[in-house]
Amino acid sequence: MRSVLEAVATRAEIDLGALRQNVREVQRLAGGVPLMAAVKADAYGHGADLVVPVLRAEGVAAFGVASVQEAVLLRELGVRERVLVFGELVREALPACLRHDIEVTLGSAAAVEEAIAADLALRVHLKVDTGMRRLGVLPAEVGAAAARLRRAPKLTLASVWTHLATADEADPSFSRRQIALFDEVRAAEGLADIPHHVANSGGLVQLREAVRGRSWVRPGGLLYGIPSSRVLASRAEVRPVMRLVSRVVRVEQVARGDTVSYGRTWRAEAPTLVATVAAGYADGLPRQLSNRGSVTIRGGTYPIAGTVCMDMLMADLGAPEGPGAAVRRGDEAVIFGHGGPTALEQAERAGTISYALTSALTGRVPRVPRS
Ligand SMILES: *Cc1c(COP(=O)(O)O)cnc(C)c1O
């Protein structure tokens, strides 16, 4: 099977050594606060089956996922540590949570009532909306929700938590207000003794008050070495875990005036070498990389020429007498990761972020471990 995977043109190499180093760096930043590793979306596209065993071996004590379905997948991978669903409670999934020892988030007053009505012995986590305006009980409703939960004998309130909207940005003021509001509400509603957590990767790197004295930190992107912003990239000592590579399948010279790919959006201004690379949007590459992204071949960086197709893209290798002339059919083309642009750099050209790039990779791209 391995040899078949090696023969596949487009593959995501997963550097388990880099992952291990990143976990240790995150643990250092956490200063003893335990990690609840965010492994949702198949570990941000890296492959939970590869990533989770390394995290467990490094002592990660809990995992966070988006849905009950993802939580059950972790149990099927043999995870015995605690598993929390970050997404909103789905009433119909509660029996499965009981069966698989999955902990759930209550992100609204309605969810609190549904959990109580289910009458199951579950660990529940109350989420407070301190400014993200996505999910969570509003600060003014926290007291009532906590009172309801205290009178529900089968439920255990395992934590209260909130989520930061701007922790990866240079200006920490909004995050600081969110954290202050969170702590005010906890104190005012008699929740000070309940475990509590705040920090995503940004909070972990930039906000001591999101980390110190908390029960958990919830890093994701930092573990995978794909900071979500330039600020974080400059402040965090992590290495990219994923390297997305494909292969050159053709090199041809096009004439002045020739156009490349669907819609003819790229036109040669002079005789030009064009490489065809066997990766496209069905592998998960954003089509927005058309005429914006680049690939790296034999150490040279070449712009994507024309639109990204479903299964292929073309790269402008430049003049026939230039350095691009060294490129050969069969060469490796790095799309991001070691030896190419970072996921963040490539993502920015498509108007997106690193997380969206790695988590969009499709099932057609094998994740191949490297140690
Ligand atoms: C995804 C997620 C995280 C991790 O965020 P990163 O920016 O990847 O560190 C933390 N908390 C919650 C609730 C999440 O959904």
Nearest to 36 by CA among 60, 67, 72, 18: 60
Q: How confident is the model at residue 1 (pLDDT cuts 50, 70, 90)?
A: low
Nearest to 238 by CA among 66, 26, 53, 33: 26
Query: Is the pLDDT assigned to residue 366 strictly greater than 70?
Result: yes
Residue 246 phi, psi (nearest 5) = -135, -160
Least confident among 4-13, 18-27, 167-176: 4-13
pLDDT digits (tens, 9 = 90+) for 26-55: 999 999 999 999 999 999 999 999 999 999
Give me ligand 1 centre to Cα 205, in Å. 13
pLDDT digits (tens, 9 = 90+) for 324-365: 999 999 999 999 999 999 999 999 999 999 999 999 999 999
CB 339 within 8 A of CB 243: yes
pLDDT digits (tens, 9 = 90+) for 46-81: 999 999 999 999 999 999 999 999 999 999 999 999
State how beta strands 313-318 and 367-370 pair: unpaired
Q: How confident is the model at residue 8 (pLDDT cuts 50, 70, 90)?
A: confident
Q: How far apart are CA 25 and CA 34, in angstroms?
A: 13
Residue nearest to atom 8 of ligand 1 (CA): 220
Residue nearest to atom 6 of ligand 1 (CA): 220
Give me ligand 1 centre to Cα 164, in Å. 9
Three-point CA angle 359, 62, 204, nearest 5°: 70
Residue nearest to atom 3 of ligand 1 (CA): 200
Residues designated catalytic:
40, 262
How far from chain centre, in Å, is Cα 225? 10
Is the shortest distance between the CB of 206 and ligand 1 below 6 Å? no
Q: Which two tokens stand for residue 340?
A: 């190419």
Residue nearest to atom 13 of ligand 1 (CA): 86
Q: How confident is the model at residue 5 (pLDDT cuts 50, 70, 90)?
A: low
pLDDT digits (tens, 9 = 90+) for 264-273: 999 999 999 9
Give me ligand 1 centre to Cα 356, in Å. 13
Give me ligand 1 centre to Cα 202, in Å. 9
The stretches of the chain forming alpha helices (DSSP H) are 2-7, 16-30, 40-44, 48-57, 68-76, 94-100, 109-118, 139-150, 173-188, 201-206, 221-224, 230-235, 343-349, 354-359
pLDDT digits (tens, 9 = 90+) for 83-99: 999 999 999 999 999 99
- Ligand 1 pocket: which of 125, 130, 218 to mutate (most atoms <8 Å of CB)? 218
77 exposed, middle or buried (CB, 10 Å; 0-12, 13-18, 19+)?
middle
Q: How confident is the model at residue 371 (pLDDT cuts 50, 70, 90)?
A: confident
Query: Is the pLDDT assigned to residue 4 strictly greater than 80?
Result: no
Is the shortest distance between the CB of 229 and ligand 1 below 6 Å? no
Question: DSSP for 22-83?
Answer: HHHHHHHHHTTPPBEEE-HHHHHTT-HHHHHHHHHHTT--EEEESSHHHHHHHHHTT--SEE
Is the shortest distance between the CB of 272 and ligand 1 below 6 Å? no
Using H for helix, E for strand and C for coil, what is the string for 250-288?
EEEEECCCCEECHHHCEECCCCEEEEEECCCHHHCCCHH
CB 242 within 8 A of CB 13: yes
pLDDT digits (tens, 9 = 90+) for 128-179: 999 999 999 999 999 999 999 999 999 999 999 999 999 999 999 999 999 9
pLDDT of residue 64: 98
